[in-house]
C-alpha cells in the first residue's frame, strides 16, 4: 500500500496544535536545549581558540625548527644554519603550503633601565617576515614597529615598560652572553611599545632587528629558530613531516608538541562539549518521550479508530514520528534563531577580566570572543534531530502496537 504522506503530515501537524500549551512547552525546551548547546559551545570554542591563537601568535607559529637540544638549553651556541643554506627547506618554506615563515634569534637577556633590572628573552626578528606570523607587528600601540633587520631600536611590552619605570623613546641596556661566553651588552632606545592580552607576554619579550642582535652577540649567520605557519593549525602532520625531512637533524616540532598543555586542553574541551551535549539531550529526550507518550495515551481511542478504518500499524508509527519530526524541526529553527540573536550582541566579546586574570597563564585574555563553528551548529542540530527521532521511536511503536479492540471497546460502549 502506498503511504499517504500528505495525509499523515496533515494529521500530525494538526495533532501537534491540539494541545497548544504542551507543544509550546516542548518546543521551548527543544529551542532552549539547542541554544544551550550552540551558545555554550561557542563560548568554550571561543576560549579554546583564543588559547590556541595566543599559543600560536606568541612566537610559536604552527611548526618550529630548532637546533638539537635548544629547547632544553636555549643557549646561543645551539644555532641552526640560515634557511638559505638549505635549498630543500628554502623551497618548502617558499611554497604555497607555508603562508608565513621567519628566522629568529632568541637568547636569555637582562634589561636595565635607570630604575630597574629585569630578566627577559631577547628576540632578534626580521620585521617584514615576522609580520603576519606572530602578534608583534599588530600589537605596537605606541611608537613605531621595527623598520628593518638592522633597526637599532627595541620593542618592549607595556607592562615591562611600567616595571622598568621608563618610557618610549628612552634608553635601556640589554645584556646577554656571546658565543665565547663573554658578556655582550648594548644600549638601545625604546622605539615602540606593544600591548597584548597577556601580561606575561608583555613582560617576557624584547624584540630587536635580527642583524642588530647578531652584531650585539658577535655571532655568525646562524639562527635560534625558524617558525612557520601553514594554512590550518589542525592539519599539520603532512607539512610537519616534510619540514622535518627537509630540516635534517634539526629538532622540528608542531605547536601542539611545543605546548602539550594546550594539546591536553583541546582534548578535554572536546570531551566537555560532548558531555554537555549529552546532558542537554538526555534532559530533552525525557521531555520529548513524555510529551509523545502523553499524546499517544490521550489519543488511544483515535488510534484505535484509525486502525479500525484500515490504517496499517506502520502508518501510525510514521504519523507519530512525523509529529515528533515537525516538533523537532520547529524547535530547532527557534533554537538556531535564538542562538543567533543572543550571540550577535556579544560577537565583539564578553569582558571576563574578573576571572581571566587567574587564567592568563593558560592563554586566556580578558575578552572572551564566542566562536560559532558551522560544524558545532550542525552537530548540535543533528544530535537533537537524530536522537530526538530515536527517542520518539518508543512512543510511536507503542502507538502502532495498540490492539484496535482495546481502543475501540471504549468507542463501541
Partner 1 sequence: MNNPAVICHKVDKTFQQGELAVHALSGVDLEIASGGFVCLSGPSGSGKTTLLNMIGGLDRPSGGEITVADLRIDRMRMSELAELRLHHIGFVFQAYNLIPVLNARENVEFVMQLQGVAAAKRHALAMDILEEVGLKGMEERRPGELSGGQQQRVAVARAIVSKPALILADEPTANLDSATAEKLMQQMRDLNTHIGTTFVISTHDKLVMSYAKRLIKLHDGKIVDDIAQQ
By beta-carbon proximity to partner 1, the closer residue of 173 and 408 is 408
By beta-carbon proximity to partner 1, the closer residue of 18 and 189 is 18
CB of 48 to partner 1, least distance (A): 48
CB of 16 to partner 1, least distance (A): 9
Residue for cell digits 630604575?
A: 115
Backbone phi, psi, residue 53, to 5°: -55, -45
Q: Write out the three cell numbers for 139.
A: 600589537
CB of 12 to partner 1, least distance (A): 9
- CA proximity to 57, closest of 170, 205, 160: 205
Contacts to partner 1 by CB under 8 A: 1-2, 4, 7, 10-11, 14-15, 18, 301-302, 305-315, 403-405, 408-413
CB of 377 to partner 1, least distance (A): 34
By beta-carbon proximity to partner 1, the closer residue of 274 and 405 is 405
By beta-carbon proximity to partner 1, the closer residue of 8 and 107 is 8
> 36: which residues sit within 8 A by CB, 6+ positions away?
276, 280
Question: Rg of the Cα trace of the chain?
Answer: 31
By beta-carbon proximity to partner 1, the closer residue of 87 and 312 is 312
By beta-carbon proximity to partner 1, the closer residue of 12 and 93 is 12
- Using CA atoms, how far apart are residues 402 and 381, in angstroms rounded to an integer? 32
By beta-carbon proximity to partner 1, the closer residue of 282 and 405 is 405
- Using CA atoms, how far apart are residues 150 and 154, in angstroms rounded to an integer? 11
By beta-carbon proximity to partner 1, the closer residue of 243 and 303 is 303
CB of 279 to partner 1, least distance (A): 35
By beta-carbon proximity to partner 1, the closer residue of 11 and 43 is 11
Residue pair 208/42 in contact by the 8 Å Cβ criterion: no
- CA proximity to 64, closest of 220, 247, 217, 283: 247
By beta-carbon proximity to partner 1, the closer residue of 82 and 404 is 404
Residue pair 127/209 in contact by the 8 Å Cβ criterion: yes
CB of 329 to partner 1, least distance (A): 19
Amino acid at each position: 500500500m502506498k503511504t499517504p504522506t500528505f495525509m499523515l503530515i496533515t494529521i500530525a501537524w494538526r495533532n501537534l496544535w491540539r494541545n497548544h500549551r504542551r507543544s509550546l512547552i516542548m518546543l521551548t525546551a527543544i529551542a532552549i536545549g539547542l541554544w544551550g548547546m550552540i551558545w555554550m559551545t561557542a563560548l568554550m570554542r571561543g576560549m579554546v581558540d583564543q588559547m590556541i591563537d595566543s599559543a600560536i601568535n606568541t612566537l610559536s607559529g604552527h611548526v618550529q625548527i630548532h637546533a638539537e637540544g635548544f629547547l632544553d638549553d636555549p643557549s646561543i651556541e645551539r644555532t641552526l644554519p640560515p634557511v638559505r643554506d638549505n635549498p630543500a627547506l628554502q623551497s618548502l618554506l617558499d611554497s604555497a603550503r607555508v603562508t608565513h615563515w621567519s628566522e629568529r634569534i632568541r637568547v636569555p637577556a637582562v634589561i636595565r633601565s635607570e630604575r630597574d633590572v629585569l630578566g627577559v628573552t631577547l628576540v632578534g626578528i626580521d620585521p617584514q617576515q615576522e609580520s603576519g606570523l606572530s602578534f608583534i607587528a599588530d600589537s605596537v600601540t605606541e611608537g613605531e614597529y621595527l623598520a628593518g633587520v638592522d633597526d637599532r631600536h627595541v620593542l618592549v611590552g607595556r607592562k615591562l615598560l611600567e616595571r622598568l619605570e621608563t618610557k618610549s623613546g628612552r634608553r635601556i641596556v640589554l645584556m646577554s652572553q656571546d658565543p665565547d661566553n663573554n658578556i655582550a651588552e648594548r644600549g638601545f632606545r625604546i622605539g615602540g611599545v606593544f600591548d597584548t592580552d597577556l601580561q606575561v607576554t608583555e613582560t617576557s619579550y624584547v624584540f630587536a632587528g635580527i642583524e642588530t642582535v647578531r652584531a650585539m652577540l658577535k655571532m655568525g649567520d646562524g639562527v635560534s629558530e625558524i617558525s612557520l605557519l601553514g594554512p590550518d593549525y589542525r592539519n599539520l602532520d603532512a607539512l610537519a613531516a616534510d619540514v622535518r625531512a627537509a630540516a635534517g637533524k634539526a629538532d622540528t616540532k608542531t605547536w601542539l608538541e611545543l605546548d602539550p598543555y594546550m594539546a591536553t586542553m583541546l582534548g578535554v574541551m572536546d570531551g566537555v562539549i560532548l558531555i554537555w551535549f549529552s546532558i542537554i539531550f538526555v534532559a530533552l529526550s525525557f521531555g520529548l518521550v513524555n510529551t509523545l507518550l502523553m499524546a499517544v495515551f490521550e489519543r488511544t481511542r483515535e488510534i484505535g479508530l484509525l486502525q479500525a478504518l484500515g490504517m496499517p500499524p506502520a502508518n501510525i508509527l510514521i504519523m507519530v514520528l512525523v509529529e515528533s519530526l515537525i516538533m523537532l524541526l520547529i524547535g530547532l529553527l527557534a533554537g538556531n534563531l535564538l542562538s543567533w540573536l543572543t550571540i550577535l550582541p556579544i560577537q565583539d566579546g564578553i569582558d571576563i577580566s574578573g576571572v581571566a586574570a587567574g587564567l592568563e597563564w593558560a592563554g586566556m585574555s580578558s575578552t572572551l570572543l564566542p566562536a560559532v563553528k558551522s560544524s558545532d551548529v550542525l552537530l548540535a542540530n543533528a544530535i537533537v534531530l537524530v536522537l530526538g527521532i530515536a527517542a520518539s521511536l518508543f512512543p510511536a511503536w507503542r502507538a502502532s502496537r495498540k490492539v484496535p479492540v482495546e481502543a475501540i471497546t471504549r468507542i463501541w460502549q
